[in-house]
Amino acid sequence: MENIQISEALIEAARNVKRVSGLTHDFYKYPARFSPSFVREAIQAFTQPGDTILDPFAGGGTTLVEAHAAGRNAIGTDINSLACFVSKVKTSRLTKKDISAVRQAVEQITEAPLPSWIREEVVDSHYKHHMEAVGTWRLRHFFEFVVASSNTLPPRGRDFIRVVALRTGQWALDNRKVIPNLAEARIKFRLNASSMLDGMRAYTEAVAAGRNVDINKPKAINRSVIGIEQDRRFIGVTPQLVLTSPPYPGVHLLYHRWQIKGRRETAFPYWLASSLDGQTASYYNLGSRHEAGLKTYFAGIQESFKSIAALCNHETLVVQMLAFSEPDWQLPEYLQTMKAAGFQEAVQADARIWREVPNRKWYTNVTTSENTKMEVVLFHRLSPHPLTPPN
Ligand SMILES: C[S@@+](CC[C@H](N)C(=O)[O-])C[C@H]1O[C@@H](n2cnc3c(N)ncnc32)[C@H](O)[C@@H]1O
Protein backbone atom coordinates (compact mmCIF):
# COMPACT_ATOMS: atom_id res chain seq x y z
CA MET A 1 0.00 0.00 0.00
CA GLU A 2 1.36 3.40 -1.01
CA ASN A 3 1.83 6.17 1.50
CA ILE A 4 -0.35 9.22 0.88
CA GLN A 5 1.12 12.57 -0.08
CA ILE A 6 0.61 15.40 2.38
CA SER A 7 0.63 18.85 0.82
CA GLU A 8 2.17 21.96 2.35
CA ALA A 9 -1.31 23.53 2.24
CA LEU A 10 -2.68 20.76 4.49
CA ILE A 11 0.23 21.08 6.93
CA GLU A 12 -0.26 24.83 7.07
CA ALA A 13 -4.01 24.47 7.60
CA ALA A 14 -3.47 21.86 10.34
CA ARG A 15 -1.21 24.29 12.16
CA ASN A 16 -3.49 27.25 11.67
CA VAL A 17 -4.59 28.46 15.10
CA LYS A 18 -6.80 31.34 14.00
CA ARG A 19 -10.15 31.78 15.71
CA VAL A 20 -12.85 29.46 14.36
CA SER A 21 -15.16 31.43 12.11
CA GLY A 22 -17.05 31.53 8.79
CA LEU A 23 -20.21 29.82 7.53
CA THR A 24 -22.16 28.48 10.54
CA HIS A 25 -19.05 27.56 12.56
CA ASP A 26 -19.57 30.33 15.11
CA PHE A 27 -23.00 29.09 16.21
CA TYR A 28 -21.69 27.38 19.33
CA LYS A 29 -18.26 26.92 20.92
CA TYR A 30 -18.24 23.16 21.14
CA PRO A 31 -15.23 22.00 23.22
CA ALA A 32 -12.18 20.89 21.19
CA ARG A 33 -13.69 21.98 17.91
CA PHE A 34 -11.83 21.28 14.71
CA SER A 35 -10.22 24.15 12.85
CA PRO A 36 -12.49 24.59 9.80
CA SER A 37 -9.53 25.50 7.59
CA PHE A 38 -7.92 22.13 8.33
CA VAL A 39 -11.18 20.31 7.64
CA ARG A 40 -11.67 22.24 4.38
CA GLU A 41 -8.16 21.48 3.19
CA ALA A 42 -8.45 17.76 4.06
CA ILE A 43 -11.76 17.54 2.18
CA GLN A 44 -10.25 19.22 -0.89
CA ALA A 45 -7.12 17.07 -0.75
CA PHE A 46 -8.74 13.65 -0.30
CA THR A 47 -12.26 13.75 -1.80
CA GLN A 48 -14.22 14.75 -4.89
CA PRO A 49 -17.65 16.39 -5.10
CA GLY A 50 -20.34 13.76 -4.50
CA ASP A 51 -18.08 11.61 -2.25
CA THR A 52 -19.13 10.62 1.26
CA ILE A 53 -17.43 11.85 4.41
CA LEU A 54 -18.05 10.27 7.81
CA ASP A 55 -17.33 11.95 11.14
CA PRO A 56 -18.08 9.33 13.79
CA PHE A 57 -17.27 11.72 16.69
CA ALA A 58 -18.96 14.69 15.04
CA GLY A 59 -19.23 17.05 18.06
CA GLY A 60 -20.41 20.48 16.98
CA GLY A 61 -20.48 19.39 13.33
CA THR A 62 -17.45 21.19 11.81
CA THR A 63 -16.87 18.31 9.38
CA LEU A 64 -20.55 18.12 8.41
CA VAL A 65 -20.73 21.87 7.67
CA GLU A 66 -17.56 21.91 5.57
CA ALA A 67 -18.41 18.67 3.75
CA HIS A 68 -21.89 19.82 2.79
CA ALA A 69 -20.64 23.28 1.77
CA ALA A 70 -18.11 21.53 -0.51
CA GLY A 71 -20.75 19.36 -2.21
CA ARG A 72 -19.93 16.12 -0.36
CA ASN A 73 -22.33 13.76 1.41
CA ALA A 74 -21.86 14.23 5.13
CA ILE A 75 -22.83 11.82 7.86
CA GLY A 76 -21.88 11.85 11.51
CA THR A 77 -22.63 10.29 14.87
CA ASP A 78 -22.23 11.60 18.39
CA ILE A 79 -23.45 10.27 21.73
CA ASN A 80 -24.06 13.82 22.93
CA SER A 81 -27.58 14.97 22.07
CA LEU A 82 -26.50 18.60 22.49
CA ALA A 83 -23.77 18.13 19.87
CA CYS A 84 -26.26 16.60 17.41
CA PHE A 85 -28.76 19.39 17.98
CA VAL A 86 -26.13 22.05 17.26
CA SER A 87 -24.89 20.14 14.18
CA LYS A 88 -28.42 19.80 12.85
CA VAL A 89 -29.12 23.52 13.13
CA LYS A 90 -25.75 24.44 11.63
CA THR A 91 -26.50 22.32 8.55
CA SER A 92 -30.23 23.09 8.11
CA ARG A 93 -30.76 25.91 5.65
CA LEU A 94 -33.52 28.38 6.47
CA THR A 95 -36.20 29.40 3.99
CA LYS A 96 -37.09 33.07 3.46
CA LYS A 97 -40.17 32.44 5.59
CA ASP A 98 -38.06 30.99 8.41
CA ILE A 99 -35.70 33.98 8.26
CA SER A 100 -38.47 36.53 8.51
CA ALA A 101 -40.08 34.58 11.41
CA VAL A 102 -36.69 34.51 13.18
CA ARG A 103 -36.22 38.28 12.65
CA GLN A 104 -39.64 39.04 14.07
CA ALA A 105 -39.10 36.79 17.08
CA VAL A 106 -35.71 38.39 17.81
CA GLU A 107 -37.35 41.83 17.66
CA GLN A 108 -40.01 40.77 20.10
CA ILE A 109 -37.63 38.96 22.45
CA THR A 110 -35.25 41.88 22.72
CA GLU A 111 -37.87 44.66 22.95
CA ALA A 112 -40.70 43.25 25.08
CA PRO A 113 -40.58 43.27 28.90
CA LEU A 114 -40.25 39.83 30.48
CA PRO A 115 -43.75 38.53 31.19
CA SER A 116 -44.62 38.08 34.86
CA TRP A 117 -45.61 34.39 34.53
CA ILE A 118 -41.97 33.56 34.03
CA ARG A 119 -41.04 34.92 37.46
CA GLU A 120 -43.49 32.57 39.09
CA GLU A 121 -41.99 29.43 37.62
CA VAL A 122 -40.51 27.10 40.26
CA VAL A 123 -36.93 25.97 39.73
CA ASP A 124 -37.26 22.27 40.33
CA SER A 125 -35.56 20.86 37.33
CA HIS A 126 -32.16 19.19 37.11
CA TYR A 127 -31.70 21.26 33.95
CA LYS A 128 -31.85 24.55 35.85
CA HIS A 129 -29.51 23.63 38.69
CA HIS A 130 -27.24 26.58 39.60
CA MET A 131 -29.44 28.90 37.57
CA GLU A 132 -31.22 30.27 40.62
CA ALA A 133 -28.35 32.24 42.20
CA VAL A 134 -28.20 36.01 42.40
CA GLY A 135 -26.97 37.23 39.03
CA THR A 136 -28.15 34.20 37.08
CA TRP A 137 -31.88 33.96 37.78
CA ARG A 138 -32.67 37.04 35.73
CA LEU A 139 -30.86 35.56 32.75
CA ARG A 140 -32.68 32.30 33.32
CA HIS A 141 -35.95 34.24 33.06
CA PHE A 142 -34.74 35.82 29.85
CA PHE A 143 -33.88 32.44 28.32
CA GLU A 144 -37.20 30.99 29.46
CA PHE A 145 -38.87 33.84 27.61
CA VAL A 146 -36.70 33.15 24.53
CA VAL A 147 -37.68 29.48 24.52
CA ALA A 148 -41.37 30.24 25.06
CA SER A 149 -41.27 32.78 22.19
CA SER A 150 -39.47 30.34 19.88
CA ASN A 151 -42.13 27.66 20.39
CA THR A 152 -44.57 29.49 18.14
CA LEU A 153 -42.15 29.42 15.18
CA PRO A 154 -41.85 26.78 12.44
CA PRO A 155 -39.39 24.02 13.58
CA ARG A 156 -36.29 25.32 11.79
CA GLY A 157 -36.85 28.88 13.01
CA ARG A 158 -37.54 27.60 16.53
CA ASP A 159 -34.34 25.55 16.63
CA PHE A 160 -32.31 28.41 15.17
CA ILE A 161 -33.53 30.71 17.96
CA ARG A 162 -32.63 28.06 20.53
CA VAL A 163 -29.07 27.98 19.19
CA VAL A 164 -28.93 31.80 19.38
CA ALA A 165 -29.90 31.29 23.05
CA LEU A 166 -27.21 28.62 23.46
CA ARG A 167 -24.55 30.88 22.02
CA THR A 168 -25.67 33.84 24.10
CA GLY A 169 -26.02 31.70 27.24
CA GLN A 170 -22.56 30.23 26.79
CA TRP A 171 -21.11 33.73 26.41
CA ALA A 172 -23.04 35.03 29.44
CA LEU A 173 -22.60 32.16 31.87
CA ASP A 174 -19.87 29.68 31.03
CA ASN A 175 -16.61 30.47 32.82
CA ARG A 176 -17.44 34.13 33.30
CA LYS A 177 -16.01 36.06 36.23
CA VAL A 178 -18.70 38.71 35.91
CA ILE A 179 -22.16 37.65 34.72
CA PRO A 180 -23.63 40.28 32.37
CA ASN A 181 -26.91 41.95 33.23
CA LEU A 182 -30.19 41.50 31.39
CA ALA A 183 -29.74 44.54 29.14
CA GLU A 184 -26.29 43.35 28.04
CA ALA A 185 -27.58 39.84 27.40
CA ARG A 186 -30.39 41.22 25.25
CA ILE A 187 -28.00 43.27 23.13
CA LYS A 188 -25.72 40.25 22.72
CA PHE A 189 -28.69 38.05 21.77
CA ARG A 190 -29.65 40.48 19.01
CA LEU A 191 -26.06 40.76 17.72
CA ASN A 192 -25.65 36.98 17.77
CA ALA A 193 -28.90 36.44 15.88
CA SER A 194 -27.81 38.92 13.23
CA SER A 195 -24.31 37.47 12.72
CA MET A 196 -25.71 33.92 12.73
CA LEU A 197 -28.20 34.84 10.01
CA ASP A 198 -25.23 36.19 8.00
CA GLY A 199 -23.38 32.90 8.60
CA MET A 200 -26.44 30.95 7.51
CA ARG A 201 -26.62 33.05 4.32
CA ALA A 202 -22.96 32.30 3.54
CA TYR A 203 -23.56 28.59 4.19
CA THR A 204 -26.66 28.56 1.96
CA GLU A 205 -24.72 30.26 -0.84
CA ALA A 206 -21.83 27.82 -0.53
CA VAL A 207 -24.21 24.85 -0.70
CA ALA A 208 -26.02 26.36 -3.71
CA ALA A 209 -22.69 26.91 -5.51
CA GLY A 210 -21.95 23.17 -5.28
CA ARG A 211 -25.35 22.11 -6.60
CA ASN A 212 -23.96 20.54 -9.76
CA VAL A 213 -23.67 17.21 -7.88
CA ASP A 214 -26.48 15.26 -6.34
CA ILE A 215 -25.93 14.91 -2.60
CA ASN A 216 -27.99 14.01 0.45
CA LYS A 217 -28.87 16.28 3.34
CA PRO A 218 -26.19 16.08 6.03
CA LYS A 219 -27.04 13.80 8.94
CA ALA A 220 -25.95 14.10 12.58
CA ILE A 221 -27.14 10.92 14.24
CA ASN A 222 -27.38 10.81 18.02
CA ARG A 223 -25.91 7.43 18.80
CA SER A 224 -22.59 5.75 19.61
CA VAL A 225 -20.35 4.95 16.69
CA ILE A 226 -19.95 1.50 18.22
CA GLY A 227 -22.31 -0.74 16.27
CA ILE A 228 -23.05 1.61 13.33
CA GLU A 229 -22.41 -1.24 10.93
CA GLN A 230 -25.64 -2.79 12.22
CA ASP A 231 -27.68 0.42 11.97
CA ARG A 232 -30.05 0.62 8.97
CA ARG A 233 -29.16 4.29 8.49
CA PHE A 234 -25.64 3.22 7.50
CA ILE A 235 -26.62 0.61 4.93
CA GLY A 236 -24.77 1.44 1.71
CA VAL A 237 -22.60 4.12 3.37
CA THR A 238 -18.98 3.61 2.28
CA PRO A 239 -17.02 6.76 3.07
CA GLN A 240 -14.12 7.89 0.90
CA LEU A 241 -12.91 9.89 3.91
CA VAL A 242 -13.36 9.48 7.65
CA LEU A 243 -12.44 12.84 9.16
CA THR A 244 -12.71 13.01 12.91
CA SER A 245 -11.41 13.97 16.29
CA PRO A 246 -12.19 11.35 18.96
CA PRO A 247 -12.08 12.06 22.70
CA TYR A 248 -8.43 12.45 23.73
CA PRO A 249 -6.64 9.87 25.92
CA GLY A 250 -6.20 11.05 29.51
CA VAL A 251 -7.83 14.39 28.77
CA HIS A 252 -11.12 15.27 30.33
CA LEU A 253 -13.28 17.79 28.51
CA LEU A 254 -16.54 19.21 29.73
CA TYR A 255 -18.65 18.60 26.61
CA HIS A 256 -21.92 18.61 28.50
CA ARG A 257 -21.85 21.39 31.08
CA TRP A 258 -21.36 25.11 31.53
CA GLN A 259 -19.43 26.20 34.57
CA ILE A 260 -20.95 29.05 36.48
CA LYS A 261 -18.68 31.12 38.69
CA GLY A 262 -15.97 28.53 39.14
CA ARG A 263 -16.91 24.89 39.29
CA ARG A 264 -20.70 25.06 39.65
CA GLU A 265 -21.86 22.98 36.72
CA THR A 266 -25.18 23.40 34.98
CA ALA A 267 -27.04 21.24 32.47
CA PHE A 268 -28.92 24.34 31.28
CA PRO A 269 -27.63 24.03 27.67
CA TYR A 270 -29.66 20.80 27.36
CA TRP A 271 -32.76 22.62 28.52
CA LEU A 272 -32.18 25.29 25.87
CA ALA A 273 -31.65 22.65 23.20
CA SER A 274 -34.58 20.61 24.45
CA SER A 275 -32.19 17.65 24.48
CA LEU A 276 -31.78 14.83 26.93
CA ASP A 277 -28.98 14.94 29.46
CA GLY A 278 -28.20 12.38 32.14
CA GLN A 279 -24.64 11.23 31.56
CA THR A 280 -21.39 12.02 33.33
CA ALA A 281 -18.22 13.50 31.86
CA SER A 282 -16.52 10.10 31.56
CA TYR A 283 -19.33 8.91 29.27
CA TYR A 284 -18.49 11.60 26.71
CA ASN A 285 -14.72 11.17 27.19
CA LEU A 286 -14.77 7.37 26.63
CA GLY A 287 -13.75 6.68 30.24
CA SER A 288 -12.19 8.30 33.26
CA ARG A 289 -8.81 9.98 32.99
CA HIS A 290 -7.93 8.50 36.42
CA GLU A 291 -8.15 4.87 35.33
CA ALA A 292 -4.80 3.02 35.30
CA GLY A 293 -3.64 2.47 31.73
CA LEU A 294 -6.85 4.11 30.43
CA LYS A 295 -8.18 0.61 29.75
CA THR A 296 -11.81 1.71 29.18
CA TYR A 297 -10.68 4.48 26.85
CA PHE A 298 -8.57 2.23 24.63
CA ALA A 299 -11.21 -0.51 24.61
CA GLY A 300 -13.76 2.15 23.49
CA ILE A 301 -11.43 3.39 20.73
CA GLN A 302 -10.86 -0.17 19.51
CA GLU A 303 -14.58 -0.97 19.41
CA SER A 304 -15.31 2.36 17.69
CA PHE A 305 -12.72 1.83 14.97
CA LYS A 306 -13.78 -1.78 14.43
CA SER A 307 -17.25 -0.44 13.64
CA ILE A 308 -15.77 2.27 11.41
CA ALA A 309 -13.60 -0.36 9.65
CA ALA A 310 -16.73 -2.37 8.81
CA LEU A 311 -17.96 0.59 6.70
CA CYS A 312 -14.63 1.33 4.95
CA ASN A 313 -13.02 -0.14 1.87
CA HIS A 314 -9.32 -0.19 1.02
CA GLU A 315 -9.57 3.25 -0.62
CA THR A 316 -11.03 4.92 2.48
CA LEU A 317 -8.67 7.30 4.23
CA VAL A 318 -9.06 7.90 7.97
CA VAL A 319 -7.75 11.28 9.13
CA GLN A 320 -7.93 12.09 12.82
CA MET A 321 -6.70 14.93 14.95
CA LEU A 322 -6.02 14.22 18.58
CA ALA A 323 -4.05 15.27 21.63
CA PHE A 324 -2.39 13.17 24.31
CA SER A 325 -1.90 13.98 27.97
CA GLU A 326 1.20 11.71 27.99
CA PRO A 327 2.20 11.09 24.36
CA ASP A 328 5.25 8.93 25.19
CA TRP A 329 3.15 5.89 26.02
CA GLN A 330 -0.30 6.94 24.77
CA LEU A 331 0.64 7.49 21.11
CA PRO A 332 2.16 3.97 20.69
CA GLU A 333 -0.83 2.50 22.57
CA TYR A 334 -3.22 4.42 20.32
CA LEU A 335 -1.45 3.21 17.16
CA GLN A 336 -1.51 -0.36 18.47
CA THR A 337 -5.25 0.01 19.14
CA MET A 338 -5.81 1.23 15.58
CA LYS A 339 -3.91 -1.85 14.35
CA ALA A 340 -6.05 -4.14 16.48
CA ALA A 341 -9.13 -2.48 14.94
CA GLY A 342 -7.86 -3.30 11.44
CA PHE A 343 -5.98 -0.13 10.35
CA GLN A 344 -2.42 0.75 9.47
CA GLU A 345 -0.75 4.15 9.17
CA ALA A 346 -0.80 5.67 5.69
CA VAL A 347 2.23 7.93 6.26
CA GLN A 348 5.72 7.42 7.69
CA ALA A 349 6.01 8.24 11.40
CA ASP A 350 8.05 11.35 10.66
CA ALA A 351 5.33 12.68 8.32
CA ARG A 352 2.66 12.87 11.02
CA ILE A 353 1.56 16.47 11.42
CA TRP A 354 2.01 17.97 14.91
CA ARG A 355 0.66 21.31 15.98
CA GLU A 356 0.74 23.49 19.03
CA VAL A 357 -2.59 24.56 20.45
CA PRO A 358 -2.71 27.82 22.38
CA ASN A 359 -5.11 28.50 25.31
CA ARG A 360 -6.69 25.08 25.47
CA LYS A 361 -8.62 24.56 28.70
CA TRP A 362 -8.83 20.96 29.77
CA TYR A 363 -8.06 18.68 32.69
CA THR A 364 -5.41 15.98 32.73
CA ASN A 365 -3.67 13.94 35.39
CA VAL A 366 -0.22 15.29 34.68
CA THR A 367 0.96 18.35 36.54
CA THR A 368 2.94 19.83 33.65
CA SER A 369 0.48 20.55 30.90
CA GLU A 370 3.21 21.14 28.28
CA ASN A 371 2.37 18.00 26.28
CA THR A 372 -1.35 18.54 26.21
CA LYS A 373 -0.74 21.60 24.10
CA MET A 374 0.37 19.41 21.21
CA GLU A 375 -2.08 17.82 18.80
CA VAL A 376 -1.24 15.32 16.10
CA VAL A 377 -2.90 14.39 12.82
CA LEU A 378 -2.86 10.66 12.05
CA PHE A 379 -3.58 9.06 8.66
CA HIS A 380 -4.76 5.46 8.34
CA ARG A 381 -6.20 3.01 5.84
CA LEU A 382 -7.57 -0.47 6.31
CA SER A 383 -4.70 -2.85 6.75
CA PRO A 384 -4.33 -5.45 3.97
CA HIS A 385 -3.50 -7.94 6.75
CA PRO A 386 -5.68 -6.99 9.71
CA LEU A 387 -4.81 -8.38 13.17
CA THR A 388 -8.49 -9.05 13.69
CA PRO A 389 -10.59 -9.38 10.53
CA PRO A 390 -13.38 -6.77 10.26
CA ASN A 391 -16.79 -8.14 11.33
C1 LIG B 1 -13.17 16.10 20.32
S2 LIG B 1 -14.94 16.02 20.27
C3 LIG B 1 -15.29 16.28 18.56
C4 LIG B 1 -15.30 17.75 18.17
C5 LIG B 1 -15.61 17.97 16.71
N6 LIG B 1 -14.49 17.56 15.86
C7 LIG B 1 -15.99 19.44 16.42
O8 LIG B 1 -15.41 20.04 15.51
O9 LIG B 1 -16.87 19.97 17.11
C10 LIG B 1 -15.26 14.32 20.55
C11 LIG B 1 -16.73 13.92 20.54
O12 LIG B 1 -16.85 12.51 20.63
C13 LIG B 1 -18.11 12.24 21.21
N14 LIG B 1 -18.13 10.81 21.59
C15 LIG B 1 -17.57 10.21 22.68
N16 LIG B 1 -17.79 8.88 22.65
C17 LIG B 1 -18.51 8.61 21.52
C18 LIG B 1 -19.03 7.42 20.92
N19 LIG B 1 -18.87 6.23 21.48
N20 LIG B 1 -19.71 7.55 19.76
C21 LIG B 1 -19.89 8.74 19.16
N22 LIG B 1 -19.42 9.90 19.69
C23 LIG B 1 -18.74 9.85 20.85
C24 LIG B 1 -18.21 13.24 22.35
O25 LIG B 1 -19.55 13.43 22.75
C26 LIG B 1 -17.60 14.49 21.67
O27 LIG B 1 -18.62 15.29 21.12
Question: Residue whose CA is closest, atom 7 of ligand 1?
Answer: 33
Integer Cα distance of 304 and 224 in angstroms = 8
Q: Considering only CA atoms, which residue is closest to atom 13 of ligand 1?
A: 57
Q: Is the CB of 35 under 6 A from ligand 1?
A: no
**C-alpha of residue 78 to centroid of ligand 1, in Å:** 6
pLDDT exceeds 50 at position 372: no
Average pLDDT, the chain: 89
In this prediction the pTM is 0.93
* Whether the CB of 87 sits within 6 Å of ligand 1: no
Every domain of the chain and the residues it spans? 8-91+217-250+287-382, 96-207
The predicted structure's pLDDT at residue 324: 86
Using DSSP bridges, classify how beta strands 241-244 and 317-323 pair: parallel, antiparallel or unpaired: parallel
The residue that leads in pLDDT, 388 or 35, is 35
Output the CA 60–ligand 1 centroid distance in Å: 8
Mean pLDDT over 116-124 rounds to 59
- Stretch among 135-149, 268-282, 355-369 having the lowest mean pLDDT: 355-369
Residue 366, pLDDT above cutoff 60:
no
Question: For residue 312, what pLDDT is reported?
Answer: 98
CA–CA gap between residue 56 and residue 305 (Å, rounded): 9
Q: Is the CB of 286 under 6 A from ligand 1?
A: yes
Looking at the CA of residue 244, tell me the nearest atom of ligand 1. 6
What is the C-alpha separation between 328 and 305, in angstroms, rounded?
Answer: 22
Confidence of residue 1 (pLDDT cuts 50, 70, 90): low
**What gap in Å lies between CA 308 and CA 171, rounded to an integer?**
35
Nearest atom within ligand 1 for CA of residue 34: 8
Cβ(304) to ligand 1 under 6 A? yes
Query: Does any ligand 1 atom lie closer than 6 A to the CB of residue 79?
Result: yes
Q: Report the candidate in 1, 13, 76 with the shortest Cα–Cα distance to residue 43.
A: 13
Burial 328-365 (b: 16+ CB within 10 A, else e): eebbebbbebbbbbbbbbbbeeeeebebebeeeebebe
Q: Higher confidence at residue 374 or residue 48?
A: 48
Q: How many CB atoms lie within 10 A of CB 288?
A: 16
Residues pairing with 220 in the sheet: 76
CATH node for 8-91+217-250+287-382: 3.40.50.150
Whether residue 262 is predicted with pLDDT greater than 80 in this model: the reply is: no
Checking if the pLDDT of 141 tops 80, the result is yes
Distance 246 CA to ligand 1 centre (A): 6
